[in-house]
Amino acid sequence: MKCLKKTGVVLALLACGFGGIAQAQQKSGEQTYKDVCMVCHAAGVANAPKLGDAKAWAPLIKEGQAVLTAHAWVGVRGMPARGGSPNLSQEDFAKAVAYMANSAGGKWKDPDTKLMAAIQAEEKKRIVELKVKK
């Protein structure tokens, strides 16, 4: 019986430890920007709004966090879907968009469950809109 109790405690500790590792592997918006977005947004490739350019970001920020994030996620204007990074998670992408918007005066937050649901709902609407336009 003691062995089972000790095993249970060890398993619980391992589970907590691995949960912490999984959380540590999530990227910040800044890190995703540096890893993926900076290629275009630092130089303004294909008219990408540059990091910190308040004038260029102002109309995008006005679109709202869920709308802009969802539209960028599926591809918008000259930007490819997922910023051209097929393995990027939508949450990390959303954090990077918030980071860039905030660098230009936005007051956006990292996405929580409610915001991710709004982004996903807007993504579905945008995909329908794009199909209708074809």
pTM here is 0.80
Q: How confident is the model at residue 25 (pLDDT cuts 50, 70, 90)?
A: low
Mean of the pLDDT values across residues 63-70? 98
pLDDT at 119: 98
Least confident of 3-7, 50-54, 71-75: 3-7
- The per-residue pLDDT for range 35-51, each reduced to its tens digit, is 999 999 999 999 999 99
Q: Which domains can be identified in the chain, with CATH numbers?
A: 27-133 (1.10.760.10)
SS (H, E, C) the chain: CHHHHHHHHHHHHHHHHHHHHHHHHCCCHHHHHHHHHHHHHCCCHHHCCCCCCHHHHHHHHHHCHHHHHHHHHHCECCECHHHHCCCCCHHHHHHHHHHHHHHCCCCCCCCCHHHHHHHHHHHHHHHHHHHHHC
Q: Name the percent of the chain lying above pLDDT 70.
A: 81
